[in-house]
Structure 1
Amino acid sequence: MQAMTFIGPVILLGIVLGFVTIAILFERKVIGWMQGRHGPNRVGPWGVLQSVADVLKLLLKEDIIPHQADRSLFKWAPVIAFIPAFAVLAVIPYTSSLFFADIGVGLLYYIAVSSITTIGVLAGGWASNNKYALLGAMRSAAQMISYEIPLVMAVIGVVMSVGSLNLIRIVEAQKDLWFILPQFIGFVVFFISSLAELNRTPFDLPEAESELVAGYHVEYTGFRFAFFMLTEYVYVFAMAGLTTVLFLGGWNPLFGMDFIPPIIWFALKFSLIVFALFWIRATLPRIRIDQLMQLGWKVLLPLALANIFLSAILKEIPWINQFY
C-alpha cells in the first residue's frame, strides 16, 4: 500500500509531463497551421523535438533573483502555484476503474484546491518588487476570483441533476444523456470561465506583453519560469479532464459504440477540448481589462443564475427527469 501511495503520484506526474511536452508542440503546430505558418520545423524531424529543446534551454539558463526581491517568497511562489495544479488531478476519473482518488466531494475538492494557485501567482508578482509584475499579479487575482464565481455556479445545475459532488457518479449519470445537452448554458458559461481561469486567450491579461512585458513572472528566469509555464499547461490538462467529466459524459460512449474502450472515449473528448483551447488562441484577439470584468459580472454571472433556475424547473418535468 505504501509503495502504491508513492508510485501513483510518480506515474501521474510522468503522464502530465508527457502531456505538457506534446501539448506545447501541438499548440504551436496547430496555431502555425491555422495562421498559414510552418510552426516548429528545425529541431528534430518536423520539429518534434522543439519542446525538448525548450526545456533544456530553460534548465541551462541562469537563475536570477532581483536584488530587492523577497528572496524566500520569490523562490517558493512557483511551487505554491504548481502544487494545487498537480493535486487536483488526483480526483479526475478517466474510467470507472482508472482514477487516483475517489472521494465523495471530488468536485468541491477540485474547486477549493485549484483556487490556491492564485496565492502563488500573487506572491510571485509581489515578491519580484517590480511594478509590472505586481500589476500582472493583481490582474490575475481579480480575474481568477471574478471568474471563479460563474465557473462554480455553472456546475450547480449538474450537481442538482445528479444529487452528488462525486465525479464518478456524475459520469455514471450521463450514461443515457450527456449533460452538454440539458446543461448547454452551464457548459458555455463553464467553458468561457475556464478560459479566464487558465489565463488563455482572449483572457490572457495577466501576461499582456504589450502592457506588462510578461506580467507576474516577468522577473523569473530558467527553471522557476518553467514552473509557472508548467502550472498553466497542467491546468489545461485538469480543466479539459473536468469538462469531459462534467458535460461530455466522461468515458461513456456514443449510442451503439460500446466496442470502443472507455479510455479511448475519454481521450477523444479530452483531446477535443484541448484542441478547442488552442483553436481559440489562434483565432481571437486579447480583450481589454474592462471588457473582461463586464463579461464576467454582467453576462456570465446572470447566465449562470438563469441556468440554475432552469435546471430546477427541468428537474420537476417528469419526461426530462427520467434521464437523471
Structure 2
Amino acid sequence: MSLPYEVEILLRATLGTLAVGIFAVVFGLILKGIDRKVHARMQMRIGPPVIQPFRDIKKLLHKQTIIPENAVRSIYNNAPILAFAAAIAVMVYLPLGPFSPLLAEGGDLILVLYLLIIPSLAMVAGGFASGSPYATVGAQREMVLMMSYELPLASVVVAVAWKMSSLGFGSSAFTFPVIMSFPIWEHVGAVGAIGAILLLITILSVLPGEMSKIPFDAPEAETEICGGLLAEYSGRNLAMFMLADAVKIVALGTFVIALFFPWGLTPTLERTLDVDIHKYFGWVIDFLFYMFKLIVLLVAAVTFPRTGFSRIKIDQITDVYWKRFGAVALVGVFLLLLDLQVL
C-alpha cells in the first residue's frame, strides 16, 4: 500500500532535512577542529585534537544554563534555537557536491542570502536580551559588521546571476542548478575572467566576517568585551549557538563552492583513466571531493587570515568592506559587463 503523494513528499523532506542537518553539524564541528589545529600548527603549537569541538559541545550540554537576572527570558532562550534552525534551513537550499538542493524548487540565491542573515540577527537579539553591557556592545558591533559585509556579498551574487541571465536563462539565473551547470569560468573571456577573480576575492573576504573570525571578530572580542554577544550565555544555550556556527561554516563554504567551484571529480577521472565510473561510486567520489574543497576553502579563507592578521576596530571593518572590497566587487562587475560587450 503506497502512501498518499503529499505524505510521501512530507516524509522525504523531513528525512532529508534530518540527514542534511546531521551532516552539517558533524562536518561543521570537524571543520572547526581542523581550523583550530591548523591555526595552532602555524603558530608552532600542538593545538587541540580535531575532535575537541565535539568535546566542548558535550561538556556544555551537561552544564547548567544560567539566565541573567536582567535578561528578557523568552528572547534570551529562543535566540539560540532560531539561529540553529535558520542555519539548517540554509543547508536544505544548497547543493551538497553531486546532490541537488533538497528544496531545489523552493528557493534560490536571494532566499539563501536572507536566510544567512537570520543566525546573526538571532545572536544580536540574544545579545540585547542578555541585559549585559558587554553583550550589548557586542550586539551593536554585530549589526555594524552585518551592514558592512552585506554590500560586497550582494554585489557578488547579483553579478553571478546577471552573468547567467545574459546567457538566456531569465529568472532561472538565480537558481543553483543553472549556476552549477554553467560555471561562470566557462562563459567569460580574458577580461571577464579577471572580473570573476575579483568577485571571488570579494566573497572570500566576506567569509571571516560572516563567521566573526579574526580580523573581523570585533563583536565577540574576548580580550576586549569578554566574548561580547555570548558573554552571558552558558550551558545548552551556548551549545546551540556553537552548533549554529558550525552549520553556518558548512553553509557558507557550500555557497561559495556552488558559485565558483561547482565541478565534480568524476568526469575528470573518466577522461584521464578512460573508464566508466558507476553512478553511485561517482556520487561518493564527488561528495568526498566536495568535502575536500570545503576544507581547503576554510583553511585558505579563514584560518590563514586569522593567523596572519590581528583584530581590526569596528570602524575599520566598515571601511575595509565598503570602500575596499566593495570597490573590488564593483570593478569585477564592470569587467564582466565589459567582457559581455567584447564578446
TM-score normalized by the length of structure 2: 0.84
The answer to whether structure 1 residue 26 and structure 2 residue 34 are counterparts is yes
Q: 1:256 to 1:6 in 2, by over 3 A?
A: closer
Aligned pairs (5 A) from 1:2-81: 2-40=10-48, 47=49, 49-81=51-83
Deviation of residue 101 (structure 1)? 1.6
Q: Higher relative contact order at CA 8 Å, sep ≥6: structure 1 or structure 2?
A: 2
Show the counterpart of 2:251.
238
Deviation of residue 258 (structure 1)? 4.1
Deviation of residue 24 (structure 1)? 2.8
Show the counterpart of 2:139.
137
Q: Distance in 1 between matches of 2:50 and 2:311?
A: 28
The answer to whether structure 1 residue 268 and structure 2 residue 292 are counterparts is yes
Deviation of residue 23 (structure 1)? 1.9
Deviation of residue 147 (structure 1)? 0.9
Q: 1:269 to 1:213 in 2, by over 3 A?
A: same
Aligned pairs (5 A) from 1:304-323: 304-318=329-343
Amino acid at match of 1:167: F
8 Å CA contact 1:104–1:166 kept in 2: the answer is no
Structure 2: state its 5+ residue gaps.
1-7, 166-172, 272-281
The answer to whether structure 1 residue 211 and structure 2 residue 224 are counterparts is yes
Picking from 310, 319, 329, the partner of 1:285 is 310
Deviation of residue 78 (structure 1)? 1.1
Q: Distance in 2 between matches of 1:104 and 1:6?
A: 15
8 Å CA contact 2:120–2:142 kept in 1: the answer is yes
What SS does structure 2 have at the residue aligned with 1:205?
A: coil
Q: Distance in 2 between matches of 1:176 and 1:273?
A: 18
Q: 1:155 to 1:111 in 2, by over 3 A?
A: same
8 Å CA contact 1:151–1:194 kept in 2: the answer is no
Show the counterpart of 2:109.
107
Structure 1: state its 5+ residue gaps.
41-46, 319-324
8 Å CA contact 1:80–1:119 kept in 2: the answer is no
8 Å CA contact 1:70–1:127 kept in 2: the answer is yes
Deviation of residue 255 (structure 1)? 8.3
Picking from 166, 171, 187, the partner of 2:175 is 166
1:236-295 deviations in whole A, cap 9, x for unaligned? 1111111111112x1344984446743343233222112222232222211122211111
Deviation of residue 84 (structure 1)? 1.6
What SS does structure 1 have at the residue aligned with 2:113?
A: helix
Show the counterpart of 2:263.
251
Q: 1:304 to 1:92 in 2, by over 3 A?
A: same
Deviation of residue 117 (structure 1)? 2.3
8 Å CA contact 2:30–2:51 kept in 1: the answer is no
Deviation of residue 206 (structure 1)? 0.4
Deviation of residue 68 (structure 1)? 1.5
Amino acid at match of 1:165: F
Show the counterpart of 2:156.
154
Amino acid at match of 1:88: V
Show the counterpart of 2:168.
none
Deviation of residue 81 (structure 1)? 1.9
1:48-74 deviations in whole A, cap 9, x for unaligned? 553332222101211100112111111
Amino acid at match of 1:295: V
Amino acid at match of 1:263: F
Amino acid at match of 1:306: V
Show the counterpart of 1:297.
322
8 Å CA contact 1:148–1:197 kept in 2: the answer is no
Q: 1:63 to 1:96 in 2, by over 3 A?
A: closer
8 Å CA contact 2:93–2:107 kept in 1: the answer is no
The more displaced of 278-287 and 137-146 is 278-287
Work out the percentage of aligned pairs sharing the same amino acid.
29
Amino acid at match of 2:248: Y
Moved over 6 A (4+): none
Q: 1:281 to 1:176 in 2, by over 3 A?
A: closer
What SS does structure 2 have at the residue aligned with 1:171?
A: helix
TM-score normalized by the length of structure 1: 0.89
8 Å CA contact 1:96–1:168 kept in 2: the answer is no
Amino acid at match of 1:174: P
Amino acid at match of 2:78: W
Q: Distance in 1 between matches of 2:211 and 2:315?
A: 18
